[in-house]
Chain A
């Protein structure tokens, strides 16, 4: 009864053309008319896939899943081009995780010194450890100045120089003259809240166009037919109705999947929904084993502590009170590079010298530093430590452990944003499906992302998806027919989860998965650890069948939504760990103890003359394409070559592989 009243209360807020009492969700939905802001829409009720849930069918020219930086840019780019666009998001647009990005955005504007986007191209290719597709990197770095100027024209308040040009600072491994000209100043920012400002600017701009926003709708699955994507099926969290969005073009911009790990900087909503939707559709995901870690993230909170702490004299300490970095890096000690520090911390934890009740983290000690020096050199750190770790930084050490920050891998696309599969030796476009942002893998970040490049990635490829769709389609095109039973399995899965009555709660399975991933698929990777991790993850995957949910309602059922998110996380997790186990080399963020070198087709540390090119199967400069059999949890891997040519060799020569050293 309460649910009926709640449903009718919520629905009456929308402009209903027929003022009939809305029946309860279980009683069928023949008279339910859904109207968006009074506009005439083609929303129709259907009984085709379920008589238990009210299903509403919508028709649009384009559907965007996700309303972060990339999703919003794609959505209003499409609306600007005249397409009838729907933007489905499980969060209000300004709550997407883009808002937490405080670092800047790179572009070769040349305001501080003479700059050339080709040098930015070189830096990005080198940063990706030559796993990035050079045509996509060419596209991104060439479009970067135009993208930043466009953002500025939308009203984003970048910081300025005295002359009024956008102020650029040195950040993120950027150099001049292909690495030979010293530090480049390319990072543009908005005080200390670039991502927040970007998201709000894009949201404000998007309100000028008539994109239909479906806020707090959880996208369940893609509607695929004959290998073509014909739309999305989503759950309205507010009233529990199912919505099928039929569209000729679907753009996925759902973000990363940091929550697969125990310690991550991502929001609780970063659950890799887009990657999982694509996996369930039988399409591959690319390079999921490349996950970017930071050594000192606060235990439990996930907030990162700056390397400046160690720079000012802070030390990492294990349970015995020993400054363990002296053993791993005798010269650099705590100032060793990030991956060395992360690996050392993980080895200490694995060998039983971790601290805390579960011995799963280490301490960062700043107590020996004079408080006055801390306050002047690192203002605000005492507040940070108190809020996030609950410690007084002058008296107690801060608990830290390696933390996930970014996922380089995702849905494979070409430089235009179209999703591709790799069959019979070549890339094939999946008609109707596009991806952009952190959920996509274009691949511009390759094996390692450079700082301040990801915000650029969002806007450039969000716009690229919109442009590609506008080039190849016309607004108002008739939709191809879709089987009336499309989306049945998604609703069946939803129903099964809603009434699940196993023995393990969602939170328990999720914690098991997170601890397994943190212990086995984190920074310290070696054959035996990864294999053990793969088996454990497989076991955790099988426990999904034993899940227990408690909330049987349909209105705002967060238990159900968290369980759906757990299914998505699990698919991402098994692909990550299996891809990592198979890749027998160290490249970028994927570093293995048993295979410490990069294995390319030539040995680039020696002169190339006289060297024989290794066949494709014997080297590792290739993308991993992983698919999962959803019923069994078994991961299959295929490999795809890296694109080594830029879009225009005359304009911008590609960068031949070399040893990466800074």
Chain B
């Protein structure tokens, strides 16, 4: 059984070699340029999203340094204006 498989395996690779596989083997896939995102609404909004995500970074160890809350909401305290705010949106009041 196993010998059959061993025979088959090398026989298969030349037939079904994908360009990706051979490139991975040779290491040149890293040099390949990443696909450019089309200017869909998602593509357009990518940069602003990344900037604001920086503002809502995770606390070190997920512990809020001021309140010592573990696993709480990221960013400034949601209830600081009297309603539950996140990213400028109000979710509860």
Chain A residues close to B by CB (< 8 Å): 100-104, 157-162, 167, 169-172, 187, 189-192, 294, 296, 303-309, 311, 338, 375-387, 405, 451-452
Chain A residues within 8 Å of B69, by CB: 159-161, 167
Is B80 touching A171 in the complex (CB atoms < 8 A)? no
Of B3-11, B15-23, B31-39, B82-90, the stretch lying at the interface with chain A is B82-90
Is B56 touching A386 in the complex (CB atoms < 8 A)? no
Is B81 touching A384 in the complex (CB atoms < 8 A)? no
Q: How far is the CB of B63 from chain A (nearest CB, A)?
A: 8
Interfacial residues of chain B within 47-93, with CB under 8 A of chain A in the complex:
48-49, 52, 55-56, 67-93
Whether, in the assembled complex, B45 has its beta carbon less than 8 Å from a beta carbon of chain A, the answer is yes
Chain A residues within 8 Å of B79, by CB: 169-171, 187
Q: How far is the CB of A306 from chain B (nearest CB, A)?
A: 4
Is B91 touching A307 in the complex (CB atoms < 8 A)? no
A189, B48: Cα distance in complex, Å:
28
Q: Interface size on B (CB < 8 Å)?
A: 33
Is B84 touching A190 in the complex (CB atoms < 8 A)? no
Q: How far is the CB of B61 from chain A (nearest CB, A)?
A: 12
24 A-B interface contacts by CB (under 8 A):
A101-B92, A102-B86, A102-B92, A103-B84, A157-B71, A160-B69, A162-B70, A167-B69, A170-B79, A171-B79, A192-B74, A305-B89, A307-B90, A308-B80, A338-B93, A378-B88, A379-B52, A380-B55, A381-B88, A383-B87, A384-B88, A451-B83, A451-B84, A452-B92
**What number of residue pairs across chains A and B have CB atoms under 8 A from each other?**
127
- The majority secondary structure among interface residues of chain B is loop
Is A305 touching B92 in the complex (CB atoms < 8 A)? no
Is A383 touching B49 in the complex (CB atoms < 8 A)? yes
Q: How far is the CB of A192 from chain B (nearest CB, A)?
A: 4
Residue in contact with A305 in the complex, picked from B48, B72, B84, B88, CB distance below 8 Å: B88
Chain A residues within 8 Å of B91, by CB: 100-103, 192, 304
Q: How far is the CB of B48 from chain A (nearest CB, A)?
A: 6
Q: How far is the CB of A160 from chain B (nearest CB, A)?
A: 4
Is A384 touching B89 in the complex (CB atoms < 8 A)? yes
Chain B residues close to A by CB (< 8 Å): 45, 48-49, 52, 55-56, 67-93
A387, B80: Cα distance in complex, Å:
24
Residue in contact with B86 in the complex, picked from A160, A380, A386, CB distance below 8 Å: A380
Chain B residues within 8 Å of A189, by CB: 72-73
A609, B80: Cα distance in complex, Å:
42
A381, B89: Cα distance in complex, Å:
7
Q: How far is the CB of B32 from chain A (nearest CB, A)?
A: 31
Chain B residues within 8 Å of A160, by CB: 69-71
Is A306 touching B83 in the complex (CB atoms < 8 A)? yes
Is A171 touching B84 in the complex (CB atoms < 8 A)? yes
Is A306 touching B88 in the complex (CB atoms < 8 A)? yes
A542, B46: Cα distance in complex, Å:
48
Residue in contact with A167 in the complex, picked from B72, B86, B88, CB distance below 8 Å: B72
A294, B84: Cα distance in complex, Å:
13
Known contacts A101-B91, A306-B85, A378-B88, A159 near B48 by CB under 8 Å: no
